[in-house]
A and B are shown apart, each in its own frame.
Chain A
Amino acid sequence: MLTHYEGFAMTEMMGKPDNPPRANGSLCFSSEWERTAFGMALALAKQGYFEWDDFRDELIAEIKSWEDAHPVDRSSWNYYDRWLAALEKAAVKTGVLDADEIKAAFAT
């Protein structure tokens, strides 16, 4: 079926362990950086830099390792922190960026 990429991507996530927080039918971002992190991942996948499923595998793995490290106190949970970590990993794995480049960009 012909469908918008954005629609396809979000529909794929619904009801899965990595599905994004939303309120009243809309995605909800608590700050601008969360929105930017979300948009970058979708833009990269849409442009074919990596497969959406590959990004999601990273995201699911990130969520799981965070949960394993925080079995009791989950007050510091932030979905988009995990999203960002998954995005960096997916970008490195698929060769869009290399890890040193990211480190250097962050240091400046």
Chain B
Amino acid sequence: MDDRFKYRDDREAYSAARVRALEALLIKKGVITDKSVDTVLDFFETRMGPFNGAKIVAKAWSDPAFKDRLVADTPKAIAELNLPEGMAGAEGEHMRAVANGPHVHNLIICTLCSCYPWPVLGLPPYWYKDPTFRSRAAREPRAVLKEFGLAVPDAVEIKVWDSSAQIRWFVVPERPAGTEHLSEMELEALITPETMMGVAVAKAS
């Protein structure tokens, strides 16, 4: 066995020290600066991710007129909100929202990895790209959702939206009962990426 893979009790501290040494060396040589790592990570941590989708949905829950505009012209409605730039730009411009209601439940799937609406939803979970998930979700969405622990009543129609390079769908879940007193910010906490993919429904905490 390759001895560089030998288990070390201090593996965590060892790796941390190696990273520190490498970063210090790259900074000393002027390859990167002490801000480079934060600049890259800022993109994932504060600009693009599921927190954007949660803000959009919370606004739609609190403001029915906004919800109507969101479904009618998604990029235009998103542009009304004070979200990071890029949201309504190149990556976001083909975004389309579909709203769940008492008689319809929406589910998004995607046949190409690049069409996940990740400025809004963040990075897709591991199973999303799984060919079995995609083909079964298209063919028998009700059974697949049941396996996710979501029993959609027979009276509710399930619509499946296949994202493509042209259109990236996301779901506006229904506002759960018993949340009338919550602020938009409190509502955001109830809106997970799964609810905006349509594999879960939002619950009152």
Binding site for B on A (CB under 8 A): 1-4, 6-7, 10-11, 14-15, 19, 22, 24-27, 31-33, 35-40, 42-44, 46-47, 49, 65-66, 69-70, 76, 78, 80-81, 84-85, 87-88, 91, 96-97, 101-102, 105-106, 108
Contacts and interface: CB of A to CB of B under 8 A. Distances in A.
B104 interface: no
Contacts of B91: 3-4, 7
Interface residues of B, number: 54
Nearest to A25: B122
A14 B124 contact: yes
A104 B116 CA distance: 43
Name the prevailing secondary structure of the B interface residues: helix
Interface string B15-31: 11111111111100101
Given A6-B40, A6-B44, A11-B114, A27 B2 contact: no
Contact of B21 (A4, A78, A102): A102
Interface string B92-135: 00000000000000000000011010110111111011100000
A35 B44 CA distance: 11
B198 to A, nearest CB: 14
B41 interface: yes
A27 B17 contact: no
Contacts of A70: 5
B193 A106 contact: no
